[in-house]
């Protein structure tokens, strides 16, 4: 249940960020291609890996605290891939999406194992 909620929140957050980054006007005096969005993708991916590491280390130990971790991971994936689809092929966008895939893959495999595996 928490995984599904985290997934949906992350997908919505990532899609919202992609939509906002498409329509956002650059600040006055800066170029239209100022590079803020690739760094945002990389920051989201790095934060997702950091939050996942804190969860694995036991620092985040409540089930409710895992919800933002899952949401952050999937938001980083959607935003990073969304920026790549929009033609932003800078290394920061690739790295942000790639970093977020590491913990997200763990959660997907975990959920599949819970569904397919033997009952507890």
The whole-number pLDDT of residue 104 equals 87
Residues of the chain above pLDDT 90, percent? 41
Range 57-78 average pLDDT: 84
96: exposed, middle or buried (C-beta count within 10 Å: 0-12, 13-18, 19+)?
Answer: buried
Q: b vs e for 61-72, b when ≥16 Cβ sit within 10 Å of the residue's Cβ?
A: eeeeebbebbbb
What phi-psi label fits residue 29: left (phi over 0), alpha (psi between -120 and 50 degrees) or beta? Answer: left
Measured distance CA(117)–CA(66) in Å, rounded: 22
Measured distance CA(1)–CA(22) in Å, rounded: 32
pLDDT in tens, 1-34: 778 898 899 999 999 999 998 887 666 655 545 6
């Amino acid at each position: 249940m928490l995984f599904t909620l985290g997934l949906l929140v992350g997908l919505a957050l990532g899609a919202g960020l992609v939509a906002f980054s498409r329509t956002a006007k650059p600040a006055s005096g800066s170029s239209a291609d100022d590079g803020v969005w690739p760094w945002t993708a990389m920051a989201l991916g790095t934060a997702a890996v950091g939050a996942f590491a804190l969860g694995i280390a036991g620092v985040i130990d409540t089930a409710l605290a895992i919800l933002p971790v899952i949401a952050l991971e999937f938001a980083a994936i959607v935003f990073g891939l969304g920026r790549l689809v929009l033609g932003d092929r800078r290394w920061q966008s690739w790295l942000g999406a790639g970093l977020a895939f590491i913990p997200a893959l763990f959660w997907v495999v975990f959920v599949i194992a819970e569904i397919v595996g033997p009952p507890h």
